[in-house]
Amino acid sequence: LEFLIRALRLFGGENEVFPAWQGMQYMANMMSGAGKLDPLDNSRYPDLKWTKLEDFLREDMNKNKK
């Protein structure tokens, strides 16, 4: 996959919004661990509360009705 990415990058795509090699590069990085965000500092924000998708959508629908 790495070889194919390098080969496709030689043929350009800089002016394209999503060049063909970009998705391959993303997959290669994620599978190799290169995209790992470690360590996460979630403990720095103890008051942060997660919002369930259902609650967010309900609130958004109510907001748009007004």
Question: What pLDDT score does 59 carry?
Answer: 94
Domain range spanning residue 54? Answer: 2-65
Cβ pair 13, 20 in contact under 8 A: yes
CA angle in degrees (0–180, nearest 5) for 4-25-6: 35
pTM (2 d.p.): 0.50
Per the structure, the count of domains in the chain is 1
User: For residue range 1-59, what is the model confidence (pLDDT) as tens digits?
Assistant: 889 988 888 887 878 888 988 999 999 988 998 878 878 888 888 998 889 999 999 99
Band (64; pLDDT cuts 50, 70, 90): confident
